[in-house]
Chain A
Amino acid sequence: MSEPSPWKLFFAFLRLGATAYGGPAMMAYLKSDLVGKRGWLSDQEFKEGMALCQVIPGATMVQMCTYTGYRLRGIQGALAAALGFVLPAFLTMTLLSALYFHPGSLPVIRALFRGLGALVVAIVLNACLTLGRTTLQGWQGFLLAALALAAMVLKVNFLAVLLGAAVLAIPLYRFADTRRAESAARKP
């Protein structure tokens, strides 16, 4: 199979970007499109890409699109995929921002955002729980999260907080992993 051109990638990801609603659930949709429908990545490649995109910074979905573009067409493909995927979100957001910051907004808009603000609180709480379940494995994770929270309350700079968490994690998780390895070795 010949590799798709950067333009073809751009439009394919533009379409995906325009229909990508609903956060994590989108990953299954992305997979069915890229692996199933188009056959641009194999199952294994998709899995490897996910593993990479989950450890590096950035929006996982955007990173996954960039990765696909990169696998198919190098840097050009990566650019085409990333720009295509983000463009619909960018356009919609710019339009909505313009409406939102338009002077003299209607009372109905203010009422609307009072309710949506409450919804955002629920979304952040949900994200804490979802992200917490995957990242806080064992007491070490809970300890680090609690320390980070305490440091934020004490107005420690967030960079220092994240750096501190990274450094403290080394002995904590090393200890946990050695213990696990030992108990695994003891079992015949």
Chain B
Amino acid sequence: MSARGWVIAALLGIGLVWGLWFWTPVLGQLNLLLMKLGLLAFGGGFTLIPLIQEEVVGRLGWLSTREFIDGIALGQVTPGPIMITATFVGYRIAGVLGAIASTLAVLFPSFLVLVGTAPHFERIKRLQTVQWMIRGILAGFIGLLVFVLVQFGQASLVDWKTWALAAAAFVALRWKVDLLVIVGAAALISILVF
């Protein structure tokens, strides 16, 4: 990317954070946070989940664990990346404007990283230390995911019915049943059973 491109990108990023900060302070704060988390989400969008749980749910308490879990469930019925759960978080905090802003904020840093590294990837690939560090971060994320798993389990698995449903869904996932089929079946069962 050209120097001019980077300047425009920097201005956009500042606008996304500080422009909105003046408009609605909480939105500016959310955007700054989501940019940070978007930059850390190594290993695909799924690692964004423990990050949001830790920061937005745990530290700031802007939405409850239950709500966040429901948001992730909605992310399963929408097409596209799981990262879109950030849109749900933004909507919870500041309505449609929040949804737009948080979607842009969470995608923005990884977009810049991609256009910044794509032309130099051959060189980066040979940096052994970077490779080791990324492997370490990915391993660390497994620990974070297990931590989130326990928190989600405590919030969601409240009786034998929910345990049974989770177990059945897990088996279906392992058997590589189509995710939409699983979601549909789980929805139908929930309406009948709960």
A residues whose Cβ falls under 8 Å from a Cβ of B: 17-23, 48, 51-63, 66-67, 70-71, 75, 78-79, 82, 85-86, 88-90, 92-94, 96-98, 100-101, 108, 110-128, 131-132, 135-136, 140-142, 144-153, 158-159, 161-162, 164-170, 172-174, 177
Is B133 an interface residue when CB atoms closer than 8 A count as contact? yes
26 A-B residue pairs with Cβ-Cβ distance under 8 Å, sorted by A, are A59-B44, A59-B82, A59-B83, A62-B110, A92-B77, A97-B87, A114-B158, A115-B194, A117-B66, A117-B155, A118-B157, A118-B166, A120-B69, A121-B149, A123-B76, A131-B43, A135-B135, A144-B140, A147-B143, A158-B51, A162-B40, A164-B140, A165-B140, A165-B143, A170-B136, A174-B132
Which one of B41, B156, B183 lies within 8 Å of A57 (CB-CB)?
B41
Q: Which residues of A contact B155 (CB under 8 A)?
A: 117
CA distance A106 to B144 in the complex (A): 34
CA distance A92 to B76 in the complex (A): 11
Q: Contact between A114 and B44 (Cβ–Cβ < 8 Å)?
A: no
B residues whose Cβ falls under 8 Å from a Cβ of A: 1, 5, 38-51, 54-55, 66, 69-85, 87-88, 91-92, 96, 99-100, 103, 107, 109-111, 113-115, 117-118, 121, 124-125, 128-129, 131-149, 152-153, 155-158, 162-163, 165-167, 169-170, 173-174, 178-180, 182-183, 186-187, 189-191, 193-194
Determine the main DSSP class of B at the interface with A: helix
Using CB atoms, name the residue of chain A closest to B188. Answer: A115
Q: Would you give the shortest CB distance from B33 to chain A, in whole angstroms?
A: 12
CA distance A151 to B124 in the complex (A): 30
Which one of B70, B133, B153, B170 lies within 8 Å of A166 (CB-CB)?
B133
Q: Which residues of A contact B51 (CB under 8 A)?
A: 158
Q: Contact between A145 and B143 (Cβ–Cβ < 8 Å)?
A: yes
**Other than the known A59-B45, A93-B84, A116-B190, what 11 A-B pairs have Cβ atoms closer than 8 Å?**
A56-B110, A56-B117, A59-B83, A59-B110, A62-B45, A86-B81, A89-B79, A119-B166, A164-B140, A165-B143, A177-B128
In the complex, number of A-B residue pairs with CB atoms less than 8 Å apart: 341
CA distance A100 to B44 in the complex (A): 26
Q: Contact between B72 and A145 (Cβ–Cβ < 8 Å)?
A: no
